[in-house]
């Protein structure tokens, strides 16, 4: 131990920025869970030049730090570290500041995409979607995940997500990602397009999204749904989409024809 401490002190003497260097690598190791591309690290290094830190970041060191300590971290640990690091990073260090802020909801893209879609697009044809057994079952699993994750923005840093894992509602997440890409042009979700393209009933989901965007079905058609069924839909969605009411319930009545080019996705 004495030799190790002596070695670190000698390194610090030769490298006055040793503390900054170690902290920066640790921050990246945690918020990126040890995975950083060389391109990303070069951009961070360039950003650090603004406050006088001129040193290349070591990808292997970032990975080594996470492999050493990562398995012992949980969401509470990460939250405490992130909140502290936010007080250390000056506003002018935009790249580092943004990287730290983006740690919120890390590894929970599927979860947040479903929440966003349900809240932003209440009048989407959810009634049609949840007539499909797979999607109705996954809605129940998503509700379970909501009860577990709640407002924990760092829950994704836990080693075992348990019943909150996105694998339990991956088709529903994929459908919601497609909806957000199409309806809101959410470019940040486009990298998940490959996953979304492999969901169950993919062609039918595209059809529903296309009809929703065309808005060819009048709101009044929602009245054609049996009142008991409408109330059941509201009971299912109200817990996960605050403010969801019977007035939001709409049914797409246009017949779906598999292979109909007019309903194909052009992207």
Q: Quick one: pLDDT at residue 267? A: 45
For the record, the structure tokens of 44 come out as 């961070």
Q: Quick one: pLDDT at residue 92? A: 75
Distance of CA 13 to the CA centre of its chain: 42
CB distance 71 to 33 below 8 Å: no
Q: Quick one: pLDDT at residue 18? A: 62
- Round to whole Å and give the CA distance between 110 and 199: 13
- Round to whole Å and give the CA distance between 167 and 165: 5
Q: Quick one: pLDDT at residue 245? A: 85
Which candidate, 236, 191, 182, 238, places its Cα nearest to that of 209? 182
CB count within 10 Å of CB 203 equals 13
Could you give the C-alpha distances from 10 to 6, 15, 89, 182, in angstroms and in order?
6, 8, 27, 57
CB distance 208 to 264 below 8 Å: no
Would you give per-residue pLDDT tens digits along the chain (267 residues)?
344 344 445 545 555 566 678 888 999 999 999 998 888 888 888 877 766 666 788 899 999 999 998 889 999 999 999 999 988 887 777 888 888 988 999 999 999 999 999 999 998 999 999 999 999 999 999 999 999 999 999 999 998 999 999 999 999 999 999 999 988 888 888 887 877 888 999 999 999 999 888 764 444 444 456 777 778 888 888 888 888 888 888 777 777 767 654 544 444
Could you give the C-alpha distances from 104 to 184, 200, 230, in angstroms and in order?
21, 29, 35
Q: Quick one: pLDDT at residue 5? A: 43
CB distance 209 to 236 below 8 Å: no
Which candidate, 185, 180, 137, 145, places its Cα nearest to that of 165? 145
For the record, the structure tokens of 179 come out as 């909806």
Q: Quick one: pLDDT at residue 8? A: 45
- Round to whole Å and give the CA distance between 85 and 123: 41
């Amino acid at each position: 131990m004495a030799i190790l401490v002596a070695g670190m002190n000698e390194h610090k003497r030769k490298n006055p920025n040793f503390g900054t260097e170690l902290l920066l690598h640790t921050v990246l190791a945690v918020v990126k869970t040890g995975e950083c591309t060389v391109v990303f690290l070069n951009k961070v290094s360039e950003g650090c030049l603004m406050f006088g830190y001129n040193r290349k970041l070591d990808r292997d060191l970032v990975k080594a730090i996470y492999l050493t300590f990562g398995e012992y971290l949980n969401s509470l640990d990460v939250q405490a570290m992130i909140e502290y690091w936010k007080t250390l990073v000056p506003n002018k260090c935009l790249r580092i500041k943004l990287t730290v802020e983006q740690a919120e909801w890390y590894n929970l893209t599927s979860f947040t995409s479903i929440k966003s879609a349900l809240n932003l697009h209440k009048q989407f044809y959810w009634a049609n979607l949840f007539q499909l057994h797979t999607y109705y079952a996954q809605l129940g699993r998503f509700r379970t995940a909501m009860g577990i994750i709640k407002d924990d923005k760092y829950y994704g840093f836990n080693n075992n997500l348990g019943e909150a894992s996105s694998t339990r509602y991956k088709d529903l997440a994929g459908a919601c990602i497609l909806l957000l890409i199409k309806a809101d042009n959410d470019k940040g979700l486009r990298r998940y397009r490959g996953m979304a393209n492999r969901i169950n009933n993919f062609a039918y989901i595209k059809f529903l999204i296309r009809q929703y965007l065309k808005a060819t079905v009048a709101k009044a058609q929602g009245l054609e749904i049996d009142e008991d069924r409408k109330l059941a839909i509201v009971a299912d969605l109200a817990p996960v989409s605050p403010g969801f009411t019977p007035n939001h319930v709409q049914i797409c009545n246009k017949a779906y024809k598999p292979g109909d080019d007019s309903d194909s996705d052009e992207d």
